[in-house]
Amino acid sequence: MDLEQSNKPATSSFRSRLIWFLSASSLGYPLALLFLICVMNPFIGERNATVAFLLYLPQSIWVLTTLPFAFMAWFFFRRWVWVYLPLLLLHLLLGMGWRLSLSAPEEFDESLCVRVMSFNRGQHSSYSLQPFKGIEKPDVILLQEASRREANYRRSEGYKEYPHIVAKGEFIALSKWPILDASEVRSPQRVVFKTSKGRMKVREDRVEGDLLAIRLELELPGGKRFALYNVHFPTPRDILNDSKRGGFLSGILGLPGTPLADKRKLYEAYWMERVKQSEGFIDLVGRDPLPKIIAGDFNMPSNGYVYRLFAERWKDAHTEAGEGFGYTFPGSTRNPLSLGSAWLRLDYVFSSHGWDVARLNVDKTGNSQHRPISATLVLRESP
């Protein structure tokens, strides 16, 4: 009897500590997630190896990991349950970029209107752009990863309404209007990823800086000229694949003197080169005196630091006039966390502040690796 009584305080103490731990976890996890969404992603982002890797994951993973903590809160500490609903809404808006469009399209002057379509046709899986093109009726089509396809588009009956075609490197632009000028936009440096043994995971015979875009100069039917940039930033596929084997943890565990310290330096050197490349591109395009539209495959998630650099400088057509998540990559996947659908926004239409965005649409059909996007922009008469 005495032994049973002596065990009661210990059992009671363990139970109270367990309840305290579960209660603290049920509140601590949503606060940590809130910190990740509002601070780490947009202000640290690609500058940290761990956060950079997490940006490219299906962001629905954070909703799923919240469920056990929400259950604990309901079961042990119900006063914290109310925290989860606003957290979920915040994550949908900031972490996943969901947008609800309720406003009806406004009327606009057709002579000041540009309909731009962008499509990275690499690994297109026999996807045809024709149905989407027929619906959107773009004035200009921007293609990436379209090397040596210029002759095909010139011969194709399906693109006969685009008599003006320019091809440079992997880029092709098809326009209903004359293209007054076309030039390459290169980065001063190559951004390459090296393995831990120092071997480059890209072609080592490339000595020029990365070809990031081609700049086109066109004229609206109303007589106003504008600059249109067809963009494709290098893919981070190699470093993301390398990070899958646990290296992504180097961003938080790679302290000096630890086995992951060298891995962290290697990864973050690469990501910082991407940041510098983006900053250089933004600065270069920002000096262009004409009204600008910048569209294509940027290979950057929409909730990271690099995206914030672009969004602070120019309008993102999705946040201005898009609907839903606007995801463009991957077009088809077996990933259960994304329910077999796209989970990233890598393709964008940005514009300088002289433009109003009337609408943005993403084609959700087909199995192409990237989904094409189409935007309608209107140039204000007094930008």
User: Do 195 and 56 sit in the same domain of this protein?
Assistant: no
User: Do 317 and 195 sit in the same domain of this protein?
Assistant: yes
Distance CA 208, CA 124 (A): 28
Instruction: Give me the pLDDT at residue 383, please.
Output: 46
Distances (CA, A) of 93 to 37, 43, 162, 271: 10, 17, 38, 26
User: Do 114 and 224 sit in the same domain of this protein?
Assistant: yes
CB neighbours of 201 closer than 8 A, spacing ≥ 6?
192, 193, 194, 195, 238, 242
Domain extent at residue 271: 110-379
Q: Which residues of the chain have pLDDT under 50?
A: 1, 3, 198, 200-206, 383
Q: Are strands 292-297 and 225-232 parallel, antiparallel or unpaired?
A: parallel
pLDDT digits (tens, 9 = 90+) for 22-58: 777 777 788 888 899 889 999 999 999 999 999 999 9
Domain end (from 34, 69, 95):
95
Instruction: Give me the pLDDT at residue 202, please.
Output: 43
Instruction: Give me the pLDDT at residue 311, please.
Output: 97
User: Do 181 and 322 sit in the same domain of this protein?
Assistant: yes
Place of tokens 């504008």: 226
Alpha carbons within 13 angstroms on the beta-carbon side of residue 130 total: 8
Neighbours of 38 (CB within 10 A): 14
User: Do 200 and 260 sit in the same domain of this protein?
Assistant: yes
pTM of the predicted protein model: 0.90
Count of domains forming the chain: 2
Domain end (from 95, 126, 151):
95
User: Do 45 and 140 sit in the same domain of this protein?
Assistant: no
